[in-house]
Amino acid sequence: MTVKGKKLSMVRGDSESITVQCSELFGEGDIVTFTVRQSPEDPIALQKTAREFPGGEAVIGIDPADTAGLDFGDYVYDIQWTRSDGTVTTIIEPERFTLREEVTY
């Protein structure tokens, strides 16, 4: 079930959303977690979760305040699915997340 992720990029301080689809539908009691770090060993820079799944998809919202204090540059992210029965699966393996410069702030 693990899939190769795709590189993500956004402007620091913007609003964004990530829609996560899986061959199995997410359901009640599941949690989908998006985690960003500068490197896999560093402290968490950003972590967001989805607990509701309209249409069986997870939509992870990123608010301007979530990235406003982060440095520009490359980070690493992954997405993990914790099923209601406690089973944990990394559904998107670590991949690059780039936080680009903003001009208007």
Task: Tell me what the mean pLDDT of segment 23-46 comes to.
Answer: 95
Long-range contacts at 54-60 (CB < 8 A, ≥ 24 apart): 56/21, 56/25, 56/26, 56/27, 57/19, 57/20, 57/21, 57/25, 57/26, 58/19, 58/20, 58/26, 58/32, 59/17, 59/18, 59/19, 59/20, 60/17, 60/18, 60/19, 60/20, 60/32, 60/34
The tens digit of pLDDT for each residue in 39-62 reads: 999 999 999 999 999 989 999 999
> Residue 22: pLDDT band by 50, 70, 90 thresholds?
confident
pTM: 0.91
Q: Domains in the chain, please, with CATH? A: 8-100 (2.60.40.10)
